[in-house]
Amino acid sequence: MTSVDFPDRPQLAGKRVTIIGLGRSAVAAARLVRQLGAMPFISEKEDTPKLAPWKALCEKYQLPAEIGGHTERAYEADLFVLSPGVPLNAPVVRKAADSGIPVTGELELASRCCHAPLLAVTGTNGKTTTTVLLHHVLTHAGYAADLAGNNDRPLSEVILDGATPRAVVVEVSSYQLETAETFHPVVAAVLNVTPDHLARHGSMEAYAATKSRIFARQRTGDTAVLNADDAWTDAMEPPDGVSVVRFSARRELAEGAWFDGTSLRLRHRALARRKDLRIPGLHNVANALAVAAMADAFGVNLDGFAEALRTFPGVEHRIEWVAETDGITWYNDSKSTNPDSLRIALEAFDHPVVLIAGGQHKEGADYQSLKPLVARKVSALIAIGDSGDYFTGLYGDDVPHVRVRGVEEAIVHARNIAQRGAIVLFSPGCASFDQYNNYEERGRLLKTRSGKWLGWNCQKYSG
């Protein structure tokens, strides 16, 4: 493992810093720049009910903000910090750049203040499960580690806490990588690259290039972890001197992490058995292999890897076991927001499922290619949301189907359709914004309403 030269903290004392976009990252970034001696100002173009929690935090921390439009006050700044959802080509950003105002992102800003080694993960699918599992493996091995990034805890919050953990595991999105300039993880992984966010990135080539920016500041002694089963990631070329370790759930790798059908291996050493990993699907085997490769590169003793897998319960909304009632097993995969994540969920089960799917489908997303898989893996389709008619039209000739409005109606129909021994899988394959504020709200609605209405006495997954 490389030694770490910690970056210089941004010199912001007395500077005016505008944070564009109001949300969790914006509030954390504003608090951080104020701690650095700067004067923060948050500017948000929208004014919707979903902003209420963040408005409340602005009031709590006495952060000045404008809501419902970017006024000239926003441009009275020495630095722009973008929330992840704000693209570089947004008019407000272009105007700032044309005026000579430097532009950065919350992750980049926070990473320059971080005095702990960063272990970073990106990819279209699997980021959250992989980062949470890596954090679990590190803590199981006795490391004081933190977890941050594109999840419930921005990296800025880790800095604000004031502690210096032995490592910080960071989930990184392509949006965050757009503004990453000095971001330097000592170990970094790209899990996969499949079509997603193309309306923002423009093409698969541009999307993959953005993902590969996670390696841009790595150097001799650092490690890049790549998925040998994914053509886009396998073709990535980290900087000279960076060690490259690949992982594969499908073939043997003499120098990497791989799955032999029974055991998860690092080079020729068996680390754990497949049954030690309690979350379903070959994709989660791949995620665990990536974790093994990253932990090993960081110098972690993997003697306890199997036990760490056995004690890992999984992550909420990612093919999450919810309950079993009357012989019917329910899974919540609300994080499924694109066709590839729907494909992964369907492939995780050996038997046909009653599938609840639909929502706000994404521009350019390829649902057509899923037809053979849906025909083979789905016993009945319950289509919801804006894409409901599209899904029933696309898959209706292959499977029995019903069109309903949302999650609550879908629960009732699923219970009426499913027979003893069946699996009900909520894997929307679409974004949630047609009816819900986010995928978390959508998933928790499934769990709370189903438990209440069906009155199950469920045996919760104990991990």
Which residues of the chain does CATH 3.40.50.720 include?
A: 16-101
Q: What angle do CA 314, 319, 320 make, to 5 degrees?
A: 55
Q: Is 187 helix (H, G, I), strand (E, B) or coil?
A: strand
Q: Cα separation of 299 and 402, whole Å?
A: 52
Mean pLDDT across the chain, nearest whole number? Answer: 92
| pLDDT higher than threshold 50 for residue 1 | no
Query: What pLDDT is stored for residue 201 in this prediction?
Result: 65
Summarize the confidence of residues 379-389 as an average pLDDT.
Answer: 96
Query: What pLDDT is stored for residue 196 in this prediction?
Result: 66
Percent pLDDT > 70 in the chain is 94
pLDDT digits (tens, 9 = 90+) for 325-342: 888 889 999 999 999 899
Select the CATH number that applies to the domain covering 109-310 from these four: 3.30.420.40, 3.40.30.10, 3.40.1190.10, 3.40.50.150: 3.40.1190.10
pLDDT digits (tens, 9 = 90+) for 280-309: 889 999 999 999 999 999 999 999 999 999
| pLDDT higher than threshold 60 for residue 5 | no
| pLDDT higher than threshold 70 for residue 123 | yes
Predicted TM-score (pTM) of this structure:
0.83
Query: What pLDDT is stored for residue 455 in this prediction?
Result: 58
Instruction: Enumerate residues 6+ apart whose C-beta is below 8 A from 458.
Output: 322, 323, 324, 325, 451
Percent pLDDT > 90 in the chain is 78
Summarize the confidence of residues 197-201 as an average pLDDT.
Answer: 66
Query: What pLDDT is stored for residue 363 in this prediction?
Result: 74
Per-residue pLDDT band for 351 (boundaries 50, 70, 90) equals confident
Query: What pLDDT is stored for residue 460 in this prediction?
Result: 41
| pLDDT higher than threshold 60 for residue 216 | yes
Query: What pLDDT is stored for residue 249 in this prediction?
Result: 97
- In three state form, how does the secondary structure of the chain look? CCCCCCCCCCCCCCCEEEEECCCHHHHHHHHHHHHCCCEEEEEECCCCHHHHHHHHHHHHCCCCEEECCCCHHHHCCCEEEECCCCCCCCHHHHHHHHCCCCEEEHHHHHHCCCCCCEEEEECCCCHHHHHHHHHHHHHHCCCCEEEEECCCCCHHHHHHHCCCCCEEEEECCHHHHCCCCCCCCCEEEECCCCCCCHHHHCCHHHHHHHHHHHHCCCCCCCEEEEECCCHHHHCCCCCCCCEEEEEECCCCCCCCEEECCCEEEECCEEEEEHHHCCCCCHHHHHHHHHHHHHHHHCCCCHHHHHHHHHCCCCCCCCCEEEEEECCEEEEECCCCCCHHHHHHHHHCCCCCEEEEECCECCCCCCCHHHHHHHHHHEEEEEECCCCHHHHHHHHCCCCCEEECCCHHHHHHHHHHHCCCCCEEEECCCCECCCCCCCHHHHHHHHHHHHHHHHCCCCCCCCC
pLDDT digits (tens, 9 = 90+) for 320-329: 888 888 888 8
146 has which bridge partners?
168
Place of tokens 């053979």: 372
Q: Cα separation of 439 and 200, whole Å?
A: 20
| pLDDT higher than threshold 50 for residue 461 | no
Per-residue pLDDT band for 2 (boundaries 50, 70, 90) equals very low
Summarize the confidence of residues 202-207 as an average pLDDT.
Answer: 86
Return the higher-pLDDT residue of 194 and 304: 304
Which residues of the chain does CATH 3.40.1190.10 include?
A: 109-310
**Topology given in CATH for the domain delimited by 320-453:** Protein-Tyrosine Phosphatase; Chain A (3.90.190)
Query: What pLDDT is stored for residue 459 in this prediction?
Result: 40
Query: What pLDDT is stored for residue 458 in this prediction?
Result: 42
Query: What pLDDT is stored for residue 131 in this prediction?
Result: 97
146: number of CA atoms within 13 Å, CB side? 24
CATH architecture type of domain 16-101? 3-Layer(aba) Sandwich (3.40)
pLDDT digits (tens, 9 = 90+) for 63-107: 999 999 999 999 999 999 999 889 999 999 999 999 999 999 999
